[in-house]
Structure 1
Amino acid sequence: MFKLPSFRSAALLCGLLLASACTAAGTDSAQAPFTDGNEYVTLPAPYQRVSNSGKVEVVEVFSYACIHCAEFSPYVDQLRKELPAGVEFKLVPAPFNDSWVPFARGYYAAKKMGVLDRTHDLLFDKKFKDQYPINSMDEIASFYASQGVNREQFLKIATSPEIDAQIKKDLALIQAWGVDGTPTIVVDGKYRSNNIKDFPQLVALTKWLAQQELNAKGK
């Protein structure tokens, strides 16, 4: 398995590199299928969450700059459908460095303008499958404009003080979680995915951790 890049050296890299395929572990209740300190780590308290909804929170830390996030995206689409009631899924764009910040700005502008759901997977496809040049803030704005979004309004929102503050907040949260690569899953601000072999294992781990939290909360 490949080592995740350090937080400071993540400039042009994504943290999850795939090794050989493996299947999800069994569900024998006598033995946990995943190990704290291996496939996941328990984060120190106080646990920091994105929201205070009261639901179990599953967060994917990702970036549109990360090809492995693009490869993981179809798994995420299915995972969201399979999460049990009482669990909510959220995305946090990782502003690891200057080259990744425009993508975080684009994410929040798209979310604010109500076009995120229909453009999220498409941006990945255009950038990595179609090799469309989407890197700078200007190129990101051009992508959204091609999808019928008002370019001027998009750029105004993406570069606003509100988005500046959100990105600063995200960076502090990601650092508190100890995230040093993408895609990374954090459950309830309490558990972070760690040594993962492939995407099916990451999905299985996410479901298992979410269920542990539901059980702990008596839901």
Structure 2
Amino acid sequence: MRETRKPWGIGRILRRILLVLVILCLLPFGLILVYRIELVRPVSTLMIADLLLMRGYDRQWVEFEDISPNLVQAVMMSEDGQFCAHNGIDWEQMRAVVDDALAGEATRGASTIPMQTVKNLFLWNSRSFLRKGAELPIALAADFIWPKKRTMELYLNIAEWGPGIYGAEAAAQYHFKVPASKLSARQAALLAVSLPNPIERVAGKPGNGMKRLANLVDRRAKRSGAYIKCLYD
């Protein structure tokens, strides 16, 4: 006698959906452990999207030691001046953002380099409290497990610097026709200030406003010795 299968009940379907959601929530924490291994060279969600849409991308992985200190200093002073001091989250900046939001004022960006790195690796691009809330525990875990140098290496190898241009090496070659190891202080500052919007801010063709920002970042980078001790012992 043939056995008849019972149709799935609503409860079973909901349990399956819940299981999938739990796996998706835990997956970044497992991958953080994998990405701690220096031989692993992960790709970002934007790179995956480019592949799925068959646009392709250019990313040439380089070790931290093969990236110009000019770029490291410029990016750090432009994006996250307290990188060596915090635990993945700049709580002072985060409180200021919350206060502004509660007061109904325009909020400032408070993303640290660990937060931007985990966003690029595991999450999506949007200005939403949902995504920001998801970033926080993942960034804390990443900063706990990854050495600061590894975090910076990951970030500089997955950051977007133009349409289909990812990582310091591809960016240096595309915008300035030099390897990442040979970037000058000026070139590094232009790349750093383009990071918030690399599609509209083109490092190789900067406008006057972008040049002024680059000058400011360059001055900060030249005085960054006390801030980068976790990267250059």
Per residue, is there more helix in 1 or in 2? 2
TM-score category by the smaller chain? under 0.3
Q: Which has the larger radius of gyration?
A: 2
Bigger RCO of structures 1 and 2 (CA < 8 A, at least 6 apart) = 1
TM superposition score normalised by structure 1: 0.27
Per residue, is there more strand in 1 or in 2? 1
